[in-house]
Amino acid sequence: MKVLILGGDGFCGWPTALHLSQVGHDVTIVDNLSRRFIDVELEVESLTPIRPIHERVAVWKEHTGKSIGFISLDIAREYDRLVAVLLELRPDAVVHFAEQRAAPYSMRTPATKRYTVDNNITGTHNLLCAIVESGLDVAVVHLGTMGVYGYGWSGSAPIPEGYLTVHVSTPDGAIEREILHPANPGSVYHMTKTLDQLLFAFYAKNDGIRVIDLHQGIVWGTETPETGIDERLINRFDYDGDYGTVLNRFIMQAAVGHPLTVHGTGGQTRAFIHIRDTVRCIEIALDNPPAKGERVSVFNQVTETYRVRDLADLVSKLTGAEIAYLPNPRKEAADNDLDVTRDRFLALGLNPTMLGEGLVEETKGIGVKYASRADFSKIVAKTVWKAGMEVAPDLMR
Amino acid sequence: MKVLILGGDGFCGWPTALHLSQVGHDVTIVDNLSRRFIDVELEVESLTPIRPIHERVAVWKEHTGKSIGFISLDIAREYDRLVAVLLELRPDAVVHFAEQRAAPYSMRTPATKRYTVDNNITGTHNLLCAIVESGLDVAVVHLGTMGVYGYGWSGSAPIPEGYLTVHVSTPDGAIEREILHPANPGSVYHMTKTLDQLLFAFYAKNDGIRVIDLHQGIVWGTETPETGIDERLINRFDYDGDYGTVLNRFIMQAAVGHPLTVHGTGGQTRAFIHIRDTVRCIEIALDNPPAKGERVSVFNQVTETYRVRDLADLVSKLTGAEIAYLPNPRKEAADNDLDVTRDRFLALGLNPTMLGEGLVEETKGIGVKYASRADFSKIVAKTVWKAGMEVAPDLMR
């Protein structure tokens, strides 16, 4: 299958590109390298020493003989080139990772709020519009987020996969409807993914675009079998307060001797998935697109749920690291339960990688190996959801 | 009250600016004149001879002694100036009409689809972000559309004002929730208004922005008491296939001797409101903002519903015009019923202007008076919702 991977240089995109190439797809990465530019802006780097994109694809070719194309293109700003790329390559599918994906960054400043909305919405809409203009039948696999659902909305009912059955009273008695699950995003970033859903629904209805929207949990881990082939293929590892994800931050903090930073009570339950399963889920999604004219197909791309403070306790127990409870810079509930339906990927053969000592150790290995690259002044989360909220000072220098 | 009117040079914005000035508010129009630029692009003009904005406000001053400010500003492209304007004028409220508002134009070409999304979403998000950045407590009154609800979704239940009560089954029994009414937009334009709703919900929740979203029906009529004071204050009147609204098109067509153009079966029921009531509704909304921290307040800004072919029959009976049934360039149901809850404005004192012979005659007067300005080649709707759909030839030259 010929696949374009938008955002194929990023944390999820790069291992996905390698995995899809490995299993035999003809892969081309489209990326504007925005994530690397944001590293420059935030004055922080991936803990792992990622190589330039041209070197990455050359090393992949060297080891496997497989070519991955690379096109430097901003889908939100270069619409005409996007159409030209579609018409030239005529892909069977596009995997769309090309969105600003950090909630804290999306709340950092007016400029980053606006960048997140402009980049994500204009980019997604340009993609849909370009596919219609091209006249091609290109399936779209999009990375959504569990955060579109919000947390704790539906009482004891597990969060369904995209669509919720509701009953509505009418003068003629109650009627049943299946609706897109009501949106309750917790940041500008999450909000953009709720807007994306409406873009997809419209273009599926009006133009018959085939879309799979994957509502992913928090990704942890770094390496996949493919990124582990050569150090020059290594995936990025973010540990800073804006881009670092909670479990990877704990593991890295333990490795470098920093207290585990729990912002708030840690009573929030969140959904998780290992990066190895992310790439496998994308592969499965590509093999199972909706038929033309069907509604958007939604999967919950999640394998486990954990309460944040339980994760901290687990990592603390495994490593001896202490836990620091810091002010919460987010506006969110102090506690929530979370039960997520995740049947669709399991039914299609996903064999999940569960959180266990071995995997934590593997990831910790990266923390230890690259500890000297860490900047302790970037660890404590400083981005507040609203002006005036309290932030913690740095814990180590 | 100090009020900024974004899009205050447009069809709804201009009469609103005059009305709010008339009742004593301190009004400043912010507009980038985009609607006039689109006239140039489409090679069509308002049937009525509208005057330049500076002349309009000067004539208003001449007649009433009241000043209306004008600032040329693109809220989607000039964020920093928007913040500066807020900080300088410190308005109590912003009325936000600054969106591309024609469904056919939004479906016309890839460029107009993209313009509609970029202009409407970036503009609305910039406004919210700028209010947060300013630190001011500015109420936002936004023009939504009945089209966010879709048509015929809820069986015999009337469309509620924004929020729908649903029941969801859980292991512990059914729970009741009040949700934003599920979105089912019929065009890119309508889709942008469903995205706006999510922007408002998030900024109300996170930042306490006070928002009123007015889901307006199809506006008809041209003049208000204020625009009628002097011909140089006249409101615009669109009769073309992209920007003309159905009832005004029928009335104009009858006046110039063109068949009444029903695209499709005419079995669609739509909601209507006279422009006189639009301006009065905005006045009422400004006087009744939600409290800080409350959810978005939604009103249905609608006074009557009609089936399109019944409207054509009515105008035909009153004028003797014949009716031409043409192919429908829209993807929509051939027939729908529509029952709309509209209690909130009535409870707050709106005394609706109902469709009656007198009003049709008044509007017809404009058609007759300015008939020589009509370009018959612009009357038949030519914009299709999807490539390959049938369009009708022009009926008259």
Tens of pLDDT along A217-243? Answer: 999 999 999 999 999 999 999 999 999
Whole-number pLDDT of residue A364: 78
Q: Is pTM beyond 0.95 here?
A: yes
Whole-number pLDDT of residue B356: 76
Distance (Å, whole) CA A127 – CA A132 = 9
**Dmax over Cα atoms in chain B, in whole Å?**
69
Whole-number pLDDT of residue A255: 93
Contacts of B103 (CB under 8 A, 6+ apart): B147, B186, B187, B188, B189, B190, B330
Q: Which of A28, A145, A194, A261 is catalytic?
A: A145
DSSP label at B387? T
Q: What tens digit of pLDDT does each residue of B279-298 get? A: 999 999 999 999 999 999 99
Query: CB of A346 within 8 A of CB of A301?
Result: no
* Tokens matching residue A387: 């002006």
Contacts of A226 (CB under 8 A, 6+ apart): A15, A18, A19, A21, A22, A233, A279
Contacts of B169 in chain A (CB under 8 A): 157, 165
Whole-number pLDDT of residue A357: 65
Whole-number pLDDT of residue B357: 65
CATH architecture of the domain covering A2-378: 3-Layer(aba) Sandwich (3.40)
CB contact under 8 A, B114 and A191: no
Q: Confirm whether A292 is a catalytic residue.
A: no
Query: CB of A244 within 8 A of CB of A11?
Result: no
Residue of chain B minimizing CA distance to A111:
B129
Task: Choose the closest CB to A157 out of B153, B155, B168.
Answer: B168
Whole-number pLDDT of residue A233: 98
Whole-number pLDDT of residue A110: 98
Q: Which residues, given as ranges, of chain B have pLDDT below 50?
A: none
Task: Tell me how crowded residue B137 is: count the other CB atoms within 10 A of its CB.
Answer: 14
Model ipTM over 0.90: yes
Give the three-state DSSP class for B158: coil
Whole-number pLDDT of residue B364: 78
* Tokens matching residue A12: 């999820």
Whole-number pLDDT of residue B365: 86
R_g of chain A computed on alpha carbons = 21
Check pLDDT > 70 for residue A11.
Answer: yes
Q: What tens digit of pLDDT does each residue of A332-391 get? A: 999 998 999 999 999 999 999 988 767 677 777 888 999 999 999 999 999 999 999 999
The label of the residue with tokens 């203009």 reads: A133
Q: Which of A112, A115, A193, A370 is catalytic?
A: A193
Task: Choose the closest CB to A206 out of B166, B205, B386.
Answer: B386
Q: Which of B28, B112, B124, B145 is catalytic?
A: B145
CB contact under 8 A, A79 and B110: yes
Q: Which one-letter amino acid corresponds to residue B391?
A: V
Q: What is the mean pLDDT of residues A165-189?
A: 95
Strand-strand pairing, A175-180 and A163-168: antiparallel
Instruction: Report the gap between the CA of A202 and the closest CA in chain B (Å).
Output: 7
Q: Confirm whether B189 is a catalytic residue.
A: yes
When the pLDDT of each residue in chain A is averaged and rounded to a whole number, the result is 96
Q: Where are the domains of chain A?
A: 2-378
The label of the residue with tokens 């486990």 reads: A304
Q: Which one-letter amino acid corresponds to residue B85?
A: V
Whole-number pLDDT of residue B153: 78
Q: What tens digit of pLDDT does each residue of A139-159 get? A: 999 999 999 999 877 778 899
Whole-number pLDDT of residue A124: 98
Distance (Å, whole) CA B100 – CA B85 = 22
Residue of chain A minimizing CA distance to B155:
A170
CB contact under 8 A, B206 and A385: yes
